[in-house]
Structure 1
Amino acid sequence: MAEQSQEIKEISISELDPRFVKNIENAEKSLSKNPDYAIDICTTVLNKYPNCVEVRKILRQAQYRKYGKGSPFAKIGASAKALMLQMKAGGMIKSGQALEVINMAEALLNDCPDNPVAVKILITAAEAISYFGIATTGYQALVQYSPSEANLLALANAYIKNKQPDEAMQVCEDILNKNRANGEAQAIARTASVMKTMNKGKWEEEGSAKDKVKDAQEQLERERLTSSTNDDETVAKFVEDLKEKIAADEQNINYYRDICKYLRQLRRYSEALEYVRLARKQPLGAGDTTFEKLEQDFVVLEVEQARDTIKAELEANPDNAEIKAKLVETENKIRQIKLNNAKEQVERYPNDYNARYELGRLYLEDDILDEAIKQLQVAQRSPKHRLLALLGLGRAFFKGGKYDLAVEQLNVAKTESKIMNDAKKEIIYELATAYEKMGKGDMAFSEFKEIYTADASYKDVSAKVDYYYANK
């Protein structure tokens, strides 16, 4: 028997042979008084129609009715049998016997539904032949055993595979209500939102197909125009259009993304902040770290915009002491906001290496060297930030007069930087400068010369090389 690779279409009870439909009706009626009878009926039907998930759900109810509170001895015995099945299930699935494995797992659940190992076997076999509906019933059972975040995420993913976006979004909302920073739940929720929008079966509930096509075309046209024009008037019209859409459907997160993008393009940061904060009050926006970061960005941009206005005032009145003081105050405010944002990000997401690097960089700018070193040492673990973090560490040690430590970090950065680009030139320049401070002129010259042979116009390396040759 060959493995089935295409996705299997579920069937409903109404699509079964009429005789089976009548039997299932009787099975449902007997759930309370005679669950064994219901189990027998459902098992018989599923042998012929394994992709009827509705029947499998009735079977699961019957299993729990029969089991009741159960006994620890029954659970131990069932777990032992499940472990024995687990040892051979993989081989059976590979040899095309996934359906047999599903039936064997269900037989174990008939005896004891409180059997996570058996459920996981059922899930693995079902997913192997694209029976995602069956897999979903398994993940539901796992959540019933243990509603952990991991199990809930697995269930949400199963709903996505089974094209059940509403259910997936509900699970993600439950997760995000408890842990707003769960990136995986945010990603699944976004996928579900897109799936729901694109699912033609849902269009009639949300509006006519004609309206949906029109909305999609409008969004594509906005993207096309804004990517090729700087016409503020056109972008402003898009903003007004999106304001109306948000008023009509305030939970549509995609509208908030678009309006924030366009308001940013128009430099209308205060308005953008209002919409970001409104988005974060929505179920799917509350735990979206994208909006969290946007809010931080717009707060900074709003103050920077005010600073630019003050700079313009100062250019017109260069001797005005009050404006000068206001500019200094605003610059300090910007720096403090950035520092607070970075601290908050690190506290909330300690494994966010970008946040670690940003906080270390800001500490370094303010000459808070010990704190800068701590953050940059963590940031260097990330391949993406490693070279910049090593350069930052070199500068921090240099500023602190620890030139030998600076040389160590900068040499590592130089070795790991394979291409002579601006970043590597900067690393080598800092390394040469550290050698100069250590009184190692020849070693400093060797580093400056390496830059000189690649780019004689870089900073003052030409003058340094000329000075060395003139004083040999």
Structure 2
Amino acid sequence: RFTEAVNACQAAIGLKPEDDALKDELRDLSASMTMEKGKYGKATTFRESINDREHQEQLQSQETVVKSENAKHRIAIEARRQYQQAPTSTTNILQLAEALVDLETKPAMAEAEHLLKEAYEKTKDFIFRKKLMELEMKALRTLIRKVQDGTIALPNENPQDQLAQLNRQLEHKEHVYYQQCVDNYPTDLRFKYEYGRCLLKAQQYDKAIPLLQEARNDPRLRVAAMDKMGICFLLKGWHDDAIDIFSQALKECNVPDSPIGKDIRYNMARAYEAANKTEMALELYRKLAQTDFSYKDVSQRIDKLRSSAHNS
């Protein structure tokens, strides 16, 4: 169900690559699909589970529509034709760069980089630098996906070491990208949310919290931003404050059994558990297990808390 919706949304983005509304919809659909499939790797700590969840959603939301090589070349040829007709057009420059990167060859990537760097040097318009960073991240995600599925292997390296190194590179690029987007688009709350998310992953909680507090003023981001805020407070050790924030986020979540609703309930249970309020934690875990027994490590946590209560 979600796979078909994601594919349709990806196809629409292929036709309208600059449509931010479609990109938002793709992110939401991809998150739902990821939750449905339960792809959370083998994270062993709460912080690792957050990073693992973010990583899985990110790769899924950035997957491109599978095109034949002929289709990719046709798109690139048409984009080049339009660019040659109006080489100063911002839209034409961005579309040609996108089409070149989709070819997934080193010469095409080099041409795309040159095209965008030249446009930025001439105009000093951040949109070209922004697109360059986006395409670099897109190429890196493609490489990560290919290493993951065994399509390619980097020489003389352990696959897990390869992935760890590539993911660190991607996290760094994302951090720089969203930081610069916030600097250049200071009123765009989406960028503040994403930069706050990056800072959370980097364990820079005190820097992340103010950005997420601003981001929650966007109704589309409010619940997700509050969830990330709660995680920051939880990982800072401010357990009661985290509980307050998760409680408010859950009140404002329209569908408690949605992916974000489950996340909030689980995170609030973790906060109760960290605050040694085990009865409250167990109650939340129980209700979550009744809805989705395979969600994360809920069943194991229920067994652990019940065992501890029995032994005491």
Instruction: Give the TM-score normalised by the residue count of structure 1.
Output: 0.44
Where in structure 1 are there 5+ consecutive unaligned residues? 1-226
Give the 5 Å matches for 1:451-470: 451-467=288-304
Contact 2:215 2:225 in 1 (8 A): yes
Residue in 2 aligned with 1:115? none
* Residue of 385, 391, 394 corresponding to 2:230: 394
SS of the residue 1:389 aligns to: helix
Supply the distance in 1 between the matched residues of 2:66 and 2:86 (Cα, whole angstroms). 28
2:111 equivalent to 1:271:
yes
Measured after TM superposition, the shift of residue 234 of structure 1 is: 2.9
Residue in 2 aligned with 1:405? 241
Give the 5 Å matches for 1:307-318: 312-314=152-154, 317-318=156-157
Query: In the superposition, relative to structure 1, how do residues 466 and 357 fare at CA in structure 2: closer, same or farther (>3 Å)?
Result: same
Residue in 2 aligned with 1:445? 282
Residue in 2 aligned with 1:111? none
Query: In the superposition, relative to structure 1, how do residues 254 and 361 fare at CA in structure 2: closer, same or farther (>3 Å)?
Result: closer
Contact 1:451 1:461 in 2 (8 A): yes
SS of the residue 2:186 aligns to: coil
Measured after TM superposition, the shift of residue 362 of structure 1 is: 1.0
Residue in 2 aligned with 1:342? 178
Query: In the superposition, relative to structure 1, how do residues 429 and 310 fare at CA in structure 2: closer, same or farther (>3 Å)?
Result: closer
Counterpart residue identity of residue 232, structure 1: E
SS of the residue 1:251 aligns to: coil
Supply the distance in 1 between the matched residues of 2:303 and 2:129 (Cα, whole angstroms). 52
Where in structure 2 are there 5+ consecutive unaligned residues? 1-63
Residue in 1 aligned with 2:264? 427
Supply the distance in 2 between the matched residues of 1:293 and 1:426 (Cα, whole angstroms). 31
SS of the residue 1:384 aligns to: coil
Residue in 2 aligned with 1:205? none
Q: Give per-residue Cα distances to partners, 1:434-460, cap 9 Å, x unaligned.
A: 101111111111111221222122122
Contact 1:251 1:282 in 2 (8 A): no
Residue in 2 aligned with 1:361? 197
Contact 1:377 1:393 in 2 (8 A): yes
Measured after TM superposition, the shift of residue 337 of structure 1 is: 2.4
Supply the distance in 2 between the matched residues of 1:228 and 1:303 (Cα, whole angstroms). 16
Supply the distance in 1 between the matched residues of 2:145 and 2:178 (Cα, whole angstroms). 23
Contact 1:270 1:302 in 2 (8 A): no
Measured after TM superposition, the shift of residue 374 of structure 1 is: 1.9
2:210 equivalent to 1:374:
yes
**Does 1 or 2 have the higher relative contact order (CA < 8 Å, sep 6+)?**
2
Contact 1:407 1:434 in 2 (8 A): yes
Measured after TM superposition, the shift of residue 274 of structure 1 is: 3.4
Measured after TM superposition, the shift of residue 431 of structure 1 is: 0.3
Supply the distance in 2 between the matched residues of 1:410 and 1:265 (Cα, whole angstroms). 40
Supply the distance in 2 between the matched residues of 1:251 and 1:237 (Cα, whole angstroms). 22
Query: In the superposition, relative to structure 1, how do residues 404 and 332 fare at CA in structure 2: closer, same or farther (>3 Å)?
Result: same
Supply the distance in 1 between the matched residues of 2:98 and 2:258 (Cα, whole angstroms). 32
Query: In the superposition, relative to structure 1, how do residues 421 and 303 fare at CA in structure 2: closer, same or farther (>3 Å)?
Result: closer
Counterpart residue identity of residue 368, structure 1: Q
Supply the distance in 2 between the matched residues of 1:272 and 1:389 (Cα, whole angstroms). 34
2:74 equivalent to 1:234:
no
- How many residues align? The count is 239
Measured after TM superposition, the shift of residue 339 of structure 1 is: 1.5
Q: CA RMSD in A?
A: 3.3
Counterpart residue identity of residue 172, structure 2: Q
Supply the distance in 2 between the matched residues of 1:313 and 1:235 (Cα, whole angstroms). 24
Measured after TM superposition, the shift of residue 306 of structure 1 is: 6.0
Contact 1:270 1:298 in 2 (8 A): no
Give the 5 Å matches for 1:18-29: none
Query: In the superposition, relative to structure 1, how do residues 427 and 276 fare at CA in structure 2: closer, same or farther (>3 Å)?
Result: same
Q: Percent same amino acid at aligned positions?
A: 22
